[in-house]
Structure 1
């Protein structure tokens, strides 16, 4: 807009020239003197043809800025090209306005000129005070703020607002919400400030209502839809995220269709078009694919041409899985190329590449195929570079390489090196060893680009047991101590009835030799108990084990390792004095098997483990096998003699797409070398001590409590009629009484372990979507099967109602029987006196207690399997690794103690 702008005037010619013709006509009829008539005509001609005088140029004398508040006038002037002394024109004024608007600092600009003074009047854009989002529920503010351009304290511009609106809509479209709209609003504030309000209507997710396929004759629509990542929105796919429309997934599905047809032999297949259309209600999409299947091909002549000296064509052809006449399969061709490349790599040709050459015969519908291996030099390792290890020393990584500098290149050894480094657990999961050209064509550089992760762990495990109530385990471990690969650990276990402390250290390469050396010291305190009545428990025996162990491991081959160990421990088993009578353990109170366990014994044992492992990762394997045979011989000194054998086998199978199945089987047997053993009463007892036997339950066997299955002795109370208060006899069996067959009213329930056991697992890891994987959640389903058995039946006790042995003396601290002296007639309290050998004096009564009638039952000693099924979830939570298992015991045996839920939690540093 221009105001008071001068416009140059143009001078028009007079009309005298136009009147010259009539004047001439008039002269013809009325002659006039020549001079008087010619002069006016000449003047008229001169006036009509004379040029107008030119306008004087406008020279700028000063440039004034009006209306600026935050921006200095000099800054405004710097944006334009108008300077004092320059010529001012309409064009330079227009350009100045354009330049100022281009800065996006001004809402309005006006330029005036008067007598050489150019005045620029500006209105500044406001400053943003706040940015407010309304209606956003699916996208949080922090995620939107990262994507938009405007921010508080910035200058407001309409172009940025438009760009932000488009960006927000794009964010919602990525979530499949194509109906989302954004309405930007501006709230004016004082001091030229504004609040920007984005009013968002999110709308629903745009789902794929229908997938149509046109042109397919060989395969049904359903079969082809199965190959696609995008799924149709149906009730059965309610929880699937692949039913939302995604343009990127549309292109991916076209590739998936092509891959499927190529694996089925349709080499000419192509997708003619793929169109996604919104439904009339603008909510969902209908996708239509038009395809051309073409003809199906078989393999024709399949040959191998090799210029490699160590890989002859005849031998290479034996590696080909396809034969003439088989249906063509592009995936098989791709796998064959990889196989030939790996074979060449095993022979030292690092850069050899098998090039498949196709010769299509449309008439015979055959695909002739030639795999070409061009000549390349054998390659040697020039250098091994290790990058990214800031804590871990280079030698810790280098000693895991199966190749050394100067060795012939071998792809298998490179892969094995990667697996060994991965198994250390010090670096990121997806780790690769890159191969780069060396200084000459026959040299290669191996480069390990590492990304270290925390190797220390602080774990806290908690559980609930119907026997021990709450359990807590705390442990701290550093598997890369001082960056030298050493392992240092300490653990503490605590519950109301068990406590333990253990310290351990391992040096994997002792004196820089491939010899692992380690040791540990420990103290374990375990208190067993039984039920006095209801949920009241009484400690029965305590076991305190103190000792140390040393271990050594040496490799025999790349996959076989021999581990040796020695352990010396002292076990002290004591029983509460309340179970003693006359200074000796009373089987009627404690049970014969507990009385037999009392004493102090020393165990000196030596053992070995033979380990075979082809696992790709020792921490989180996805493929490979592991077999372990372990034996321990106790009797190298000490007071205990036995031979314990345990064997385990694990197999991991990668099913693809993140599914990994683990098959695990283990079993063990302990054989006593002491011969027959007898208790104090002369009864033969099991030769293997109570604390040396095998036990099963949580956590080895999910779905059961700690030591929740296997041989056990239960003290069951005789039932009492709730109306009469009398013991209930068994119908038809005079003198016999009913016993409680449930676990609720057990007087005692003691697992006594077995000499043999077996345990099997089948567990499958289930992959989830990328969003869930980013949270570190890894679910799995499993089936556990196992049993522990093979112990000699202990001598059992039966105290039916009315048995005089149910009345027991209450002993003093010295173990003597007592008598009760009644209080005097004038009041007071009764007193206790030692009981003479002749019995309580006259006027006193024996100080006794009456225990409930019970009988002991031996249960669970059977090799019949227990089976449980369930699912578990591993979660790398913000407060550490978390594991929860929910398992249902499907098959149990009498006496077993199932448990539904277990969990543990920890953290890393």
Structure 2
């Protein structure tokens, strides 16, 4: 049985069990009675009634009935007009039964009023709350009851359950008679089971496997872990969205002719869930061919625009790349003073070579300006937050591409469940009004939970965050995490659009108290960091910051003379300043199987403390997909240096100590310089560190909806160097490990279960072969 057939069958079941069939029959009998009551009228050409006698009224005024009749006393009325009057009374929704009987010069109108609704109840609903369902109803308490409206309300409730994947839900409206012609309206709900998707298959796909395409779409298959999967219920709207996701996926990889020819959804015999099959046509894969720029506007030199295309001949065709190039060219034309100019891409297909030649034509556009931008539906979010996403203001030339790009940026904010941006003609033919219709959604979260990490043990976490604080588009976060050995308090605030520009103002504060892993001493650390972040290019950003920091070492019980001397220096409070430059190819908004991320930071710190230092760190990562994008390959290198420029030198709380995620196979503070003269070989950390990681992640053959994959890795790295190291080996010693991992993308976050075997180490290193941690992404 297909989805449509099942939906129709469910509707039939609903109507067949409705209590209002007798009411509908009463209206039919009323019409029949009227037809039998006016046989003479059917033969006469017209009537004239000296009086109208209305019977059966209780709460409705006689004048209301007369207004629906549409004629007065003494007026000539034809048989057709009399029938029309009857239809108007029936269609008013005020009466359960209507009879019209001409009796000589008197028209007798007998009515039975629908009762008033005393109250409305919904029974049997568990998945959807009363408040959610009552908002869907047209029937209202203290209004006239109408069976047809109640039927539509029942269908609306059933459709709401259908949107939740419960297509078998049945809703039956009932009435309970009360005195004084009143009724209680009750909707009895039988929710039924979820209509799960048991299987998703594809036909016609050659370039990508079913498994890869199942990771593209939002719908998921149900399985033994279905209680963890939110998108495994059948939803026709989600299926349509999946078709668009597939189209975008193929288009970004050069398949310009891709088409989802058909999608079939059916419930086989002996099965409870849907089998969904996508029939697709991939078409030919294209690359970019010759890229040229031409101008049809006097005063514009196309050579000045050629470099703005930034498209390499031979690279895979991607329509988003073309859109980006057009946006850059149109922006440049506007900056040169050419207001009403547009760039049209003229495409020439070369089927044999599999290339698309693109000629960017700079042409005159229509002289249309933006009259105004109307924003509606933002009950909490301020208008300026939405307007800041537009590069167009009132009076600017109308650019459809710029408006579409603004709509995408508004959606990307995550503040709205629905964003609809449309342009319509303004007060004159040469102007447009941009209408922005919004539907807000929740942007705050409150979390309470537990944490576990090897080395830190079990902990408790409490956090609150708001992504649209007071409707200003600001970010606010408060968090506490604690356990037996560690307590952390943190606060974060950010204004992402300072002065209405792409300037992010941030303020971060944290304080933590830690019993160190060795148990030999405790630490205190507090940091306050205001910062300002801004773009340098399409893919590069810079963040500059100031900082204030306090650090302390307490309760040392070991025998290391180095740490004892560092503890004796007491609480240190110092200030500093720094910057971070980051480069990320994903910031261009293009979907690609490969990306590159790099980050460089530099800080000057310790101003006002007993040690001044310069600290630098750097990280670079390249990630790509191979074997039809079923395998993810990642290479990462990182390193850092801490150089004291004055004072007593660095302390153990200042130096680098690589954590297990940076070098799997070794415990926290398990490798690097150690004081071998101390009884417990205390870890000292180092002023320098470096690491390189190669990782591969691949499917294990499990259903994609479980989000479980496997991986292998190889890590190398080291920590070394101290300011003063009598009796300590702080020279560079390379460590290395290899191993395997299981990755599980869970509702609480991505988890990694790893087993690493150290293949190169020092005798005093501490191993940690098995690890459980939150998987890190870039």
Query: What is the Cα deviation at residue 104 of structure 1?
Result: 1.6
Query: What is the Cα deviation at residue 105 of structure 1?
Result: 1.8
Coordinate RMSD, CA, aligned: 7.9
Query: What is the Cα deviation at residue 242 of structure 1?
Result: 7.6
Q: Does 1:648 align with 2:636?
A: no
Alignment equivalent of 1:307, drawn from 278, 282, 296:
296
Query: What is the Cα deviation at residue 664 of structure 1?
Result: 6.4
Query: What is the Cα deviation at residue 641 of structure 1?
Result: 5.7
Equivalent position of 1:246 in the other structure: 236
| Whole-angstrom CA distance in 2 between matches of 1:557 and 1:374 | 30
Q: Does 1:895 align with 2:763?
A: no
Alignment check: 8 A CA contact 2:287 2:354 kept: yes
Change (3 A) 1:529 1:83: closer
Q: Does 1:630 align with 2:619?
A: no
Equivalent position of 1:71 in the other structure: 60
Change (3 A) 1:494 1:190: closer
Query: What is the Cα deviation at residue 889 of structure 1?
Result: 5.6
Q: Does 1:109 align with 2:98?
A: yes
Query: What is the Cα deviation at residue 146 of structure 1?
Result: 3.3
Deviations 1:424-448 (A, max 9, x none): x999999999999999xx9999999
- Give TM-score scaled by structure 2 length: 0.58
Larger Rg: 1
Alignment check: 8 A CA contact 1:358 1:368 kept: yes
Q: Does 1:374 align with 2:360?
A: no
Equivalent position of 1:668 in the other structure: 640
Equivalent position of 1:100 in the other structure: 89
Change (3 A) 1:494 1:751: farther
| Whole-angstrom CA distance in 2 between matches of 1:222 and 1:286 | 12
| Whole-angstrom CA distance in 2 between matches of 1:352 and 1:522 | 51
Change (3 A) 1:480 1:715: farther
Report matched runs for 1:828-907 at 5 Å.
863-865=734-736, 888=754, 890-891=756-757, 894-896=765-767
Equivalent position of 2:22 in the other structure: none
The residue matched to 2:294 in structure 1 has which SS? strand
Change (3 A) 1:131 1:434: closer
Report matched runs for 1:221-620 at 5 Å.
241=231, 244=234, 246=236, 249=239, 253=243, 274=262, 304-308=293-297, 312=301, 331=317, 335-336=321-322, 338-347=324-333, 348=335, 349=338, 351-357=340-346, 371-375=360-364, 590=559, 595-597=564-566, 599-600=568-569, 609=578, 611-614=580-583
Q: Does 1:155 align with 2:144?
A: yes
- Which ranges of structure 1 fall in alignment gaps of 5 or more residues? 11-53, 532-539, 577-588, 678-686, 717-746, 767-776, 797-857, 876-881, 904-909
Change (3 A) 1:898 1:749: farther
Change (3 A) 1:415 1:707: farther
The residue matched to 1:374 in structure 2 has which SS? strand
| Whole-angstrom CA distance in 1 between matches of 2:577 and 2:297 | 47
The residue matched to 1:345 in structure 2 has which SS? helix
Alignment check: 8 A CA contact 2:205 2:281 kept: no
| Whole-angstrom CA distance in 2 between matches of 1:332 and 1:557 | 25
Alignment check: 8 A CA contact 1:60 1:88 kept: no
Alignment check: 8 A CA contact 1:345 1:411 kept: no
Deviations 1:356-378 (A, max 9, x none): 45678999999887543224799
Change (3 A) 1:224 1:83: same
Alignment check: 8 A CA contact 1:225 1:231 kept: no
Alignment check: 8 A CA contact 1:384 1:447 kept: yes
The residue matched to 1:667 in structure 2 has which SS? strand
Alignment check: 8 A CA contact 1:705 1:899 kept: no
Deviations 1:332-356 (A, max 9, x none): 5774465245234335356533334
Change (3 A) 1:898 1:608: farther
Alignment check: 8 A CA contact 1:350 1:410 kept: no
Change (3 A) 1:557 1:409: farther
Alignment check: 8 A CA contact 1:4 1:113 kept: yes
| Whole-angstrom CA distance in 2 between matches of 1:467 and 1:363 | 61
| Whole-angstrom CA distance in 2 between matches of 1:644 and 1:261 | 48
Query: What is the Cα deviation at residue 159 of structure 1?
Result: 1.9
| Whole-angstrom CA distance in 2 between matches of 1:662 and 1:77 | 80
Query: What is the Cα deviation at residue 654 of structure 1?
Result: 10
Q: Does 1:757 align with 2:757?
A: no
Equivalent position of 2:656 in the other structure: 694
Alignment check: 8 A CA contact 2:742 2:752 kept: yes
- Give TM-score scaled by structure 1 length: 0.51
Query: What is the Cα deviation at residue 895 of structure 1?
Result: 2.3
Query: What is the Cα deviation at residue 79 of structure 1?
Result: 3.6
Work out the number of aligned pairs and report it.
Answer: 699
| Whole-angstrom CA distance in 1 between matches of 2:355 and 2:586 | 43
Query: What is the Cα deviation at residue 647 of structure 1?
Result: 1.5
| Whole-angstrom CA distance in 1 between matches of 2:471 and 2:157 | 47
Deviations 1:742-784 (A, max 9, x none): xxxxx97854333433467899999xxxxxxxxxx9x999989
Alignment check: 8 A CA contact 1:693 1:755 kept: yes
| Whole-angstrom CA distance in 2 between matches of 1:232 and 1:422 | 23
Equivalent position of 1:44 in the other structure: none
Alignment check: 8 A CA contact 1:208 1:231 kept: no
- Which ranges of structure 2 fall in alignment gaps of 5 or more residues? 1-32, 699-706
Alignment check: 8 A CA contact 2:166 2:191 kept: no
Deviations 1:490-537 (A, max 9, x none): 999987777899999999999xxx999999999987666977xxxxxx
Query: What is the Cα deviation at residue 103 of structure 1?
Result: 1.7
Alignment check: 8 A CA contact 1:80 1:99 kept: yes
Query: What is the Cα deviation at residue 695 of structure 1?
Result: 2.9
| Whole-angstrom CA distance in 1 between matches of 2:461 and 2:205 | 63
Alignment check: 8 A CA contact 1:714 1:750 kept: yes
